[in-house]
Structure 1
Amino acid sequence: MSAAGAPRGGVAPCSRRVMNLAHFLRRAARRFPDAVGLAWGARSWTWAELDARVDAMAAALAARGVTKGDRVLVQARNSNQLFESMFVGFRLGAIWVPTNFRQTPSEVAYLASASGASALICGAGFPDHAAAVRAACPDLNCVVEIGGTAFGADYDALVAEQLGRAAPVCGVEHDDPCWFFFTSGTTGRPKAAVLTHGQMAFVVTNHLCDLMPGTTEADASLVVAPLSHGAGIHQLAQVAAGTKTVLTAGERLDPEEVWALVERWRIANLFTVPTIVKLLTEHPAVAEHDHSSLRHVIYAGAPMYRADQQHALRVLGPVLVQYFGLGEVTGNITVLPPRLHAAEDGPDVKVGTCGVERTGMQVQIQDTEGRELPPGETGEICVCGPAVFAGYYDNPEANAAAFRDGWFRTGDLGHCDAEGFLFITGRASDMYISGGSNVYPREIEEKLLTHPAISEAAILGVPDRAWGEVGVAVCVARPGASVEEGELIAWLSAAVARYKLPRRVFFWEALPKSGYGKITKRAIRAELESRGDLPLEKPAQASDR
């Protein structure tokens, strides 16, 4: 028996040094210095210009005391500066902490405090956010303003001062944090998922392998979502391939602008969410612009409803790519490539699947005790592999709840078929129990969306004295269409069991969505309560007795 602490297999322990992710930008600048790396509105920057600007800003922050391990909070709309700030942070060995620009000052102040931010890069349009962060972080020692000098040093002025200088690229190891990826906070306060240099190198490689194979420096990618979240992960993969990134110029998503940019730049891929795919493919501009360059329209964040999927495939052709994943696994759970999408139903078409395991990842369906369930049985979707995050920052309780026997528990419910295709039933928190039977809202939502008058639908479980819980549906009608509540429930009764039928149907002009385009059921529930539509059973009044 070997002595305690002796190396296993005769291999001496060593540092797990890995490539600093900022090297992706440096490599693109060396290989394609004069090629466009980023375009935004009427402006564009070559790879060499971007690399020089990142060097300059890294030098400016280093001169202000930012060093390895420091957290750099970024509050900004999509811009070249936001694009650059990721690589600035990486190059210094600092941790990039991007926010969703739509968040309120108090929400951003919480993210700053929870992450321990010591530096802030903030757009000039967010002075209240900057003030809130300053108040929440007394140790904040560096504030840089994008587009002004009202509350911080001007970003572009600092770059101009430091051009030609560079801070040394920080050496990093596999588990060194590079990004605090905040969850959306659907079940409480947002949590900072810690992404690392080694983990993210795998994620980027996997994205290029599984989501957009064949992507090269000859291609262009369009950004239609905030770079602070999944679009930022996608953009990092584009830089790794030397693929130019194109940002939309408007402050709001404009389908006309999107399709014009697809035609102008010969866009090969874009990343978005199902609700945006629906919006883009239902807009008349899609027929007015050439989109034949598209090879991969990647959607994630939620499965796409079948009716919307069929419409998009008929409009765009076989270019849809679905992936399932969450911030904690940075998207790397399953993939459904174009060849497995089909516009028409048939015996060989797996309707409703989100695909098969990503390369290097393993999915297991588990019961409440952590036992693996056989094909066809519904349980919690759990995953392991190199894309799983390092854990939540400074949150041991959340980490204990998120991991079991080495498996990351997604909180999503689903089942696998005999071939390993995954079908998501919904969030564990969305499921409700009516009369002792489990009801999965997504199944009923899918049925509602096949009605010709319904454009969007969401179902929530609410308390009921007789049955424990019943469903409530909130729907959005298509333009020019109308349907009555009773008529819709009667129509639905032919497609789903009686216990699954919603007790009430409410019609709204639109469903509330998160800053990333996802329908948010917590906001729907709050709106129902504010309108006086919940609870369904009103408390007894004195006059009722």
Structure 2
Amino acid sequence: MNLAHLLARTARVFPERPALLLGTRAISSYSGLARRVAAIAGALRGACGLQAGERVALLLGNCPQYLELLYAIWHAGLVAVPINSKLHAREVAFILEDSQASLLFSGAGAAPSSPAAAMWSACVPRLRIIAVDDGDYQRLATSEPIAISAAAPDDLAWLFYTSGTTGRPKGVMLSHRNLLAMTLSYFADVDQALPADGILYAAPMSHGAGMYNFVHVLVGARHVVPESGAFDAAEIIELARSLRQLSLFAAPTMVRRLVDRVAARGGDGEGIKTIVYGGGPMYLADAQRALAVLGNRLVQIYGQGESPMTITALSRQHHADRDHPRHLERLASVGVAHSVVEVIVADANGRSLPAGEVGEILVRGDTVMQGYWHNPQATAATLYGGWLHTGDVGSFDGDGFLTLRDRSKDVIISGGANIYPREVEEVLLQHPAVAEVAVVGRPSTEWGEEAVAFVVCRPPMTVPGGDLDQLCLQSIARFKRPRAYFFLAELPKNHYGKVLKNELRRRFMPPGEN
């Protein structure tokens, strides 16, 4: 079933219910939203000349247009390619070229006349760019509406680019079936969404936060875009007090900042219904403090782009069950398997391990991706033996609660965003003075983790850290650059010549934990 039917169904049943809000101001009802979606879809297939299955990229911060564009893309039988708006222009260029996107919707910072747009057009000569804040975009909504295009369950709907350990982004192929299974599992495993609720988009709509739109469209709830378009703890508190029953998805670092703000004001998170957190580790002390300040409003999910938002969940009830003898262990876990997937911990041969033993986390079910876009080698390396091999390491307890032990792919999660060390290392190695480099994560009170680089220079050469910073800023997003550089005579290695990153990480561990 085409995901666009979710919106069409709700618009028929609850036409006057408020759909889109910018801050506290309602700007569209469900019937109005559905009409705009059908008209924009007509323009995509008509004036824009796109054919079924073509890719449409969204390089936008959080804004009301995001939701209407997603549904217009599916209504027209096309594929959405959401792109992190914080990426460097060169990183965006790779995604546009790899996906062969026919159309890009951009914000003001990437207008069709900008230098970045010229770079992208050179990579994809037939690419058309439309800025959502100009007249061309508004004219799309005045086009003749069309009927929803037919879509098979396994037709591609969402092409999400996530970097791997090689540093080259990979396009995760998610079908209408994948996303519908994810949506229905929310009701069974995460929370009960109701028509009176609102979903607040404080985290990027290009990622997990945007994927929770389906749940709230399905029940006719409100979709609230903060006027800042981003995470602002004070703004969230005020919106929750005004609008009531707001839910949001947030990275653990965001939760920590929200808790700090609520505690400083002497509140309790009034108006917030549910905070679903994920995308990185929530330290036990932070979870306990969040429960103490906000009360029973927390749910944790563990997922990957390859099985979005749906591997395990730690429910509201499990958070609140302080009398359970293993409450703290459960609070430090990522919960139990979602109802739509099977999850095992396996040895190197793919054999399921008993409770208490550590191994790789494997997943299978209707939420697992179809594969990586035009990358059969990476697909074969990740999907084999009937399972998604996550690259994450963990163990189950006897009650089915999964605890993550390590991330074998060395990903650094900073403020809920992934930083892949190999990608940063390849940039730093472009400097002629750099012989070797290793990028690892160190703890950060603000971001959870941050990247730092250990650099070996070619003797007798040296290089200031500022030069390396500038090199990074020319090639990758600002948030990915190392926050510190440490210069060594050599990197620690094993007998096979592999860099021992654990040895480097130990330098940042508190006394008594190494």
Instruction: Tell me the TM-score range normalised by the shorter chain.
Output: 0.7 to 0.9
| Higher Cα radius of gyration | 1
Give the equivalent residue in structure 1 for 2:434: none
Q: Tell me the distance in 1 between the aligned counterparts of 2:205 and 2:162.
A: 14
- Per the alignment, residue 121 of structure 2 pairs with 134
Runs of 4+ in 1 over 4 A off after TM superposition: 184-187, 342-346, 470-473, 475-478, 533-538
SS at match of 1:341: helix
Cα deviation 1:66-89 (Å, max 9, x = unaligned): 121000011111111111111011
Does 1:106 pair with 2:90?
yes
Q: 1:240: how far off? A: 1.5
SS in 2 for 1:179: strand
Distance 1:303 1:221 in 2: 23
TM alignment of 1:382-401, pairs within 5 A:
382-401=362-381
- Identify if the C-alpha distance between structure 1 residues 371 and 35 changes in structure 2 by more than 3 Å, giving closer, same or farther: same
**Hey, what's the Cα distance between the residues in 1 that align with 2:117 and 2:351?**
48
CA distance in 2, matches of 1:186, 1:252: 28
Distance 1:316 1:343, change over 3 A: farther
Partner Cα separation in structure 1 for residue 382 and residue 314 of structure 2: 26
1:179 alignment partner in structure 2 = 158
Residue 208 of structure 1 deviates from its aligned partner by: 2.4
Given that 1:91 and 1:169 are in contact with CA atoms closer than 8 Å, whether structure 2 keeps it comes out as: yes
**Counterpart amino acid of residue 375 in structure 2:** N
Per the TM alignment, residue 131 of structure 1 is displaced from its structure 2 partner at its CA by: 2.5
Question: Are residues 1:416 and 2:396 paired?
Answer: yes
Aligned to 1:483: none
Aligned twin of 2:281: 303
Picking from 41, 50, 56, the partner of 2:33 is 50
Q: CA deviation at 1:111?
A: 0.5
Say which of 48, 53, 59 aligns to 1:69.
53
After TM superposition, the structure 1 = structure 2 runs for residues 283-362 of structure 1, keeping only pairs within 5 Å, are: 283-284=261-262, 287=265, 291-342=269-320, 347-349=325-327, 350-362=330-342
Answering whether residue 8 of structure 2 is matched by residue 21 of structure 1, we say no
Gaps of 5+ in 1: 1-18, 432-440, 443-457, 461-469, 479-511, 513-519, 539-545
Change (3 A) 1:309 1:477: closer
**Is 1:279–2:257 an aligned residue pair?**
yes
Cα pair distance change 1:181/1:286, threshold 3 Å: farther
Alignment of 1:125-274 (within 5 A): 125-126=109-110, 127-140=114-127, 142-148=128-134, 154-159=136-141, 161-162=142-143, 165-185=144-164, 187-213=166-192, 215-274=193-252
- Aligned partners of 2:345 and 2:352 also within 8 Å: yes
Q: Is the Cα–Cα contact under 8 Å of residues 222 and 267 in structure 1 kept in the other structure?
A: no
TM-score, normalised via structure 2 length: 0.79
Q: Which residue does 1:508 correspond to in 2?
A: none
The change in CA–CA distance for 1:377 and 1:537 in structure 2 (over 3 A counts) is closer
Counterpart of 1:370? 350
Query: Given that residues 383 and 389 in structure 2 are in contact (C-alpha distance below 8 angstroms), is that contact kept between their aligned partners in structure 1?
Result: yes
- Residue of structure 2 equivalent to 1:87: 71
Are the aligned partners of 1:402 and 1:408 in contact in 2 as well (CA < 8 Å)? yes
Q: How far 1:535 sits from its partner (Å)? A: 5.6
- Aligned in 2, Cα 1:55/1:288: closer, same or farther, shift over 3 Å? farther
Shift of the 184–37 alpha-carbon distance from structure 1 to 2, 3 Å rule, reads farther
- How far apart are the structure 2 equivalents of 1:475 and 1:532? 19
Structure 1 position 338, deviation (Å): 1.0
Which structure is richer in relative contact order (CA contacts within 8 A, separation 6 or more)? 2
* Residue 34 of structure 1, CA deviation: 1.2
Letter in 1 for 2:12: R
1:44 to partner: Cα distance? 2.1
What do residues 110-133 of structure 1 show as CA deviations (whole Å, max 9, x unaligned)? 111111111111112213443222
In 2, the alpha carbon distance for the partners of 1:405 and 1:223 equals 37
RMSD: 2.9
Which blocks of at least 5 consecutive residues in structure 2 are unaligned?
414-418, 422-437, 447-468, 470-476, 494-514
Residue identity opposite 1:197 in structure 2:
H
Q: Secondary structure at the match of 2:349?
A: coil
* 1:532 equivalenced with 2:514 (yes/no): no
Given that 1:266 and 1:291 are in contact with CA atoms closer than 8 Å, whether structure 2 keeps it comes out as: no
**Alpha carbons 1:260, 1:289 under 8 Å: kept:** no
1:260 partner SS: helix
Give the counterpart of 1:120 among 94, 104, 116: 104
Q: Deviation at 1:288?
A: 5.9
Measured against aligned partners, the alpha-carbon deviations of 1:165-215 in whole angstroms (never above 9, x if no partner) come to: 2122110111100110111445411111101112211111111221112x1
CA–CA separation in structure 2 for the residues paired with 1:534 and 1:243: 58
Aligned-residue offset at 1:232: 1.1
Q: Is the 8 A contact 1:259 1:286 kept in 2?
A: no
Alignment match, 1:35: 17
Q: What corresponds to 2:497 in structure 1?
A: none
Deviation per CA, 1:362-407: give whole Å up to 9, x if none. 1111111212111111110001111111111100110111022101
Instruction: Give the distance between the partners of 1:97 and 1:45, measured in 2 at CA.
Output: 24
Aligned residues: 434
State the match for 1:452 in structure 2.
Answer: none
1:405-431 residue CA offsets vs partner (Å, 9 max, x unmatched):
101000100001112110101201349
